[in-house]
Chain A
Amino acid sequence: MHDPGGLRGERASVTDPDGWVDQHGDGLYRYAMLRLRDPDVAAELVQETFLEALRSRLAFEGRSSERTWLVGILRHKVIDHQRRASRERPRADHNAAEGFFDDQGFWRVGPASWPGDPALALERREFWDVLHGCLAKLPPTLADAFLLRELEGLDTEEICRLESINPTNLWTRLHRARLLLRDCLEKNWFGRRPEQS
């Protein structure tokens, strides 16, 4: 993400911190809210991100975009916060995602055929609204593991270390998260109305 205004951006942050907050505040807060689902902690970590970034502005050499740099700082803070929380309060695997299969292991209700090309949904604002609604419905334990895997792209070993769980626990959480999300998307988007192509 090339930012030709990189150096200019740095000077802007020094001479106009207010504008800097206006420019990047929403983006950072949305990312924090997606990961944390807690407005108070999100606000706190976003503030700490701006403070730390302003103090260390000399370290920003304009190689990546300013937003990317700030998100990187915030990402570390979110990870640290969650790692501490996992250690202090280890969470058991959630019992959600029961009931998709019967006693014999068959689907109770098989996945429906999603009409057309599901990728077209990604171009629709309303789809993202539905997706975030579905994410918000996930049990926090499952959401955290799923986002570390799918949003942050961390591998099994890294997530297990952060969450203090073993790989089998992790794979169970991811499996349940995927079952629940798929089901929610089908009920609220793909199954409800046919996609116009």
Chain B
Amino acid sequence: MGHLKSIARLLTLPCDEVARLVSESLDRPLPLPERAALRLHLVYCVACRRYRRQALFLRRVFDRLTPWSDHAATVGLPPLPPEVRERIKRALREI
């Protein structure tokens, strides 16, 4: 009976739990029952399918993010303030 109840539960996961599983699948391998439940839900739920695609895209965004480099992807991060620059130069001269 316990088995049937948990199988029934996995067959009807709500979207909030599915979204959580989608997120976890990015951080660790999901156990087989959860992985199966996730796959099944995604068959019939457009919203969660989109969420999964977009969460995977987020990972691609961060694969490309290299804030220490000198190209366009650093737009939105501030440069070294001039007074800090001068302070560092002074400190290096004292070595």
Q: How many residues of chain A have a CB within 8 Å of chain B?
A: 61
Pair B61/A131 contact, Cβ less than 8 Å: yes
Binds B, one of A2-10, A82-90, A100-108: A100-108
Q: For residue A109, which residue of chain B has the nearest CB? A: B47
Residue numbers in B under 8 Å from A71 (CB-CB):
68
**A27 engages B75 (CB within 8 Å):** no
Are A26 and B79 within 8 A (Cβ)? yes
- Near B by CB (< 8 A), chain A positions 123-154 give 125-126, 128-133, 149-151
B3 within 8 A of A: no
On chain B, the residues within 8 Å of A105 by CB distance are 14-17
Distance in Å from the Cβ of B81 to the closest Cβ of chain A? 7
B2 to chain A, nearest CB (A): 22
Residues A110 and B47 in contact, CB atoms below 8 Å apart = yes
Which residues of chain A are within 8 angstroms of B76 by Cβ–Cβ distance?
128-133
The CA of A150 and the CA of B64, in the complex, are separated in Å by: 10
User: Is chain A's binding surface mostly helix, strand, loop or mixed?
Assistant: helix
Assembled-state Cα–Cα distance A22/B57 (Å): 34
A17 to B24, CA, bound (A): 45
Interface pair A174/B27, CB less than 8 Å apart: yes
Pick from A18, A34, A101: contact of B15, CB below 8 A: A101
Q: Which A1-54 residues have a C-beta within 8 angstroms of B?
A: 17-18, 20-22, 25-31, 33-34, 39, 43, 46-47, 50-51, 54
| Alpha-carbon distance A186/B14, docked complex (angstroms) | 22
Q: Does A95 contact B (CB under 8 A)?
A: no
Task: State whether A27 touches B70 (Cβ < 8 A).
Answer: yes
Interchain CA distance A179-B50 in the complex, whole Å: 12
Residues of A near B93 (CB, < 8 A) are 17
What mask results when residues 42 to 79 of chain B are scored 1 for a CB within 8 Å of chain A, else 0? 00001110110011011111101101111011111111
Question: A26–B70 contact, CB under 8 A?
Answer: yes
Is the CB–CB distance between B68 and A30 below 8 Å? yes
**Cross-chain pairs A/B with CB under 8 angstroms, 11 sampled:** A21-B88, A30-B78, A51-B92, A101-B14, A107-B15, A110-B50, A122-B60, A132-B75, A171-B24, A174-B27, A179-B23
Inter-chain pairs besides A25-B80, A149-B27, 9 sampled, C-beta below 8 Å: A27-B70, A27-B74, A122-B60, A122-B64, A122-B73, A125-B75, A155-B27, A156-B28, A179-B23
The 4 closest A-B pairs by CB, nearest first: A105-B14, A132-B76, A110-B47, A150-B62
